[in-house]
Structure 1
């Protein structure tokens, strides 16, 4: 493995991680809720109580990259994929989040910080599945 030093952004990554952690703490302190984006999205779309703060949180998640750009930041260039591949990938991730009763923000950020064994196991499962998927698609099948 090599590091792409030209696109290495440790300070932006640190700031982004700190902001995610701060958002999780603020939501927990003010609202008593865990910042799990898949759960927030699910209950906003399919119904659930207290939709106002959920929609505000989603607006923040989707507006953050635009705000970063407006402040002079640059987003990394992603490898373009076809729309059908992106839709299928999104559906698979959504199904996995539903199956795992949460996503990386809920389990990985909030659950691990609360030393939840369930969240630690879930996050290890997410990561192992991601590693295995990348290995299979990139190294065995040569598709990516």
Structure 2
């Protein structure tokens, strides 16, 4: 909690919510990041461009809004980030979606499965933080 910045967290949440609403209104697509990314791995012509732009915008926002982006990418722990990302990917497949799909979109649609999945995500995060 040394570097807790409520304003950047609020801005990030607002950007996630806005992107989810814009994607749903203009493309009729649900903004579940794991689903969008997995669609890039098995590309179809009509879906590829919007998926690439959405993920590209997320990556670009990291460089725009993170003051330490370059030091993060050159740190020795980059391999650890890659391993963690792969493990998260496996978890999203097991959970049929990620926190953005279940927590933002699924709960807004009043999906029982999404509410349960989000409760499990949050509970797991609380337990993991206790062992930090």
Which TM class, normalised by the smaller chain length?
A: 0.7 to 0.9
Query: How many residues of Structure 1 are paired with residues of Structure 2 in the alignment?
Result: 128
The structural deviation recorded for 1:17 is 0.8
Residues 101-140 of structure 1 deviation map (CA, whole Å, 9 limit, x = unaligned) = 11011111111112111111111111112222332x42xx
Structure 2 unmatched runs, 5+: none
TM-score, length-normalised on structure 1? 0.77
> 1:142 matched to which residue of 2?
none
Residues 3-55 of structure 1 deviation map (CA, whole Å, 9 limit, x = unaligned) = 53xx3322222121111100000001111111011111111112345111011
TM-score, length-normalised on structure 2? 0.83
Change (3 A) 1:130 1:8: closer
Match of 1:16 among 4, 12, 22: 12
- Provide the aligned C-alpha RMSD in A: 2.3
> 1:141 matched to which residue of 2?
none
> 1:42 matched to which residue of 2?
38
Give the distance between the partners of 2:81 and 2:14, measured in 1 at CA.
28
